[in-house]
Amino acid sequence: MISRRLASCLAAMASDGSTERDFPRGRGRSRRSDRGQSELVGTVLILGLSMAVIGTSVALGGVALGDLVSTAEANNVENGMSHLSSKLSLVALGDADSQRFSLGLMQEGSVSVQPDAGRITISNVTNDSRTELFDSDLGAIVYSGESRAVAYQGGGIWSKQDGTSRLASPPEYYYRGTTLTFPIIQVTGEGTVGGQPTGRITPVGVATDAVPNVSTPLDNGTIEVKIRSAYYEGWYEYFNQRTDGETLIYHANETVVSRLTVPDEIQLDTAVSTQSEYNPGNGNGNGNGNSADIDGSVEDNVAHRSAKPLIEQQVSDARGSGSGCLNDDGCTLTNGTYFYDGDLTLTNDTKIDTSGGDVTIVVDGTVDLQNHDIRVTDTTDNGVSYYINGSLRATGNAEVGTTSSEPEAERNVFYVADGFLDSSSGTGTINFDAVIYAPDAAVEATGNGQINGALVANSLDGGGSFGIDYDEDLAGTTIELTGAADLLTYLHVSHNTVRVDLN
């Protein structure tokens, strides 16, 4: 409006015939009148520009003030939703018959109950099947403001702005140790209210078992929790940062999946299995170039459970057991459990006789064979299990095996928490007739080392004349990973339904 007025004023001045060109000097106007007119034009211009600046400032100030009001209202609703969440939990879990609530005064937004907002599915997934254990709507209570939405859903508070959601307050979802605890709270009801929304929460279904057909402890497979929601990014933030397990996000269908692995077995059907990519090196793969020589199949990008929890459990169980004659020259270990507290560096060869039964060796630290041997001396089918809470290292002509002329890899099984052959410069001609389960190890195969058996690692970079030959006798053999402290064993998942009536 100010600009239009200024333009009109200037146009009127330009059309009133009062320019020097229309009135030659000496006939109609004086220089003094010309100066007076110039001063008038300048004053009008300055006044117009000033009014334009003031108008713009007022307009921008109005926008900023509006943003502040919107932000303050959304923040107040977040606080109100937190109180509402506590009352919903009381009713849903059977601690209160009903609860009333208020979300405060609203000038811009409104609150609605959306019973179809979001869905949760819980499944048990194995190698060859998927069993759906639970499937239900979640529902939500949603505040829709000018610039931000705030929602209660599934026990959590979620905020969404500019198309992206975030976690405001976490749900009652706990995956720690061996147990998943998840009281699923489903919201039903209807209606939309603005101004000063209040309402009443009443129970519909309290603490029914969401997965009644699953026996505990769980035996195998993966529990998969899938949530489809407009606030999926906030759910992903929570699952990924604050709970154990693998979390995947799918933007195309607004879905997040949390996978919780339960105790399982590892099938030893390949020479090498890695969690990340296997790099064979740049040689010809036959041991004569800068590449590992692999005789047997190789699989990469395969998820493997960490050995650390299992090893830590073994350390806890074995603590107090004697170390026997570990590292004593001329001594033979017999059936039983042996515990070594700290890093173990061999200074002599170690002999093991399993004719009386299996042998378990637990080391709470790194094991370095140096240039020495570990050998099983009998010809039975019994074996040795090694639990190493550190790295497994060797140099020179170190060997692990049996007295047999053929590999008997299944009789020496190593569970390694950290690295394998790390910091073992000049690995020489080390030889392992064994199974090496080291899923957290980044293995650099150099020198003239040899593994006859199977290797599970995080990664493998081939090099030197290092070779890995699969022991065909391992086909169909499994190794157990049960007993680890952080594996999902129990499900405590309840389904609780409440009704929210707005007024």
Structure tokens at 394: 């060797």
Q: What is the mean pLDDT of residues 317-345?
A: 91
Q: Is the pTM of this model over 0.85?
A: no
Helix (H) or strand (E) holding 9: helix 2-15
* 386 and 369 Cβ atoms separated by less than 8 Å: no
Residue 153 has pLDDT above 80, yes or no: yes
CB atoms within 10 A of CB 286: 11
Q: What is the mean pLDDT of residues 347-357?
A: 95
CB atoms within 10 A of CB 104: 12
Give the angle 209-211-217 at the CA atoms, nearest 5°: 105
Per the model's pLDDT, the better-predicted residue between 49 and 99 turns out to be 99
CA 244 to each of CA 13, 169, 440, 450, 459: distance values in angstroms, whole numbers, following the listed order:
78, 18, 16, 36, 22
Residue 185 has pLDDT above 60, yes or no: yes
Q: What is the pLDDT of residue 32?
A: 44
Residues 6+ apart with CB under 8 A from 425: 395
Per the model's pLDDT, the better-predicted residue between 486 and 265 turns out to be 265
Q: What is the pLDDT of residue 60?
A: 44
Q: What is the pLDDT of residue 8?
A: 46
Please write the tens of the pLDDT for every residue from 266-276: 889 999 998 77
Q: What is the pLDDT of residue 242?
A: 75
Residue 332 has pLDDT above 80, yes or no: yes
Q: Which residue has the tokens 């919201």?
A: 187
Please write the tens of the pLDDT for every residue from 212-241: 877 766 766 778 999 999 999 999 999 987
Q: What is the mean pLDDT of residues 323-330?
A: 82
Structure tokens at 215: 């026996």
3-state secondary structure 103-141: CCCCCCCEEEEECCCCEEEEEEECCCCEEEEEEEECCEE
Residue 488 has pLDDT above 50, yes or no: yes
Q: What is the mean pLDDT of residues 416-444?
A: 85
Residue 12 has pLDDT above 60, yes or no: no
- Strand pairing partners for 99? 201
Q: What is the mean pLDDT of residues 443-469?
A: 85
**Minimum mean pLDDT among 50-54, 64-68, 172-176: which range?**
50-54
Q: What is the mean pLDDT of residues 314-319?
A: 94
Q: What is the pLDDT of residue 455?
A: 95
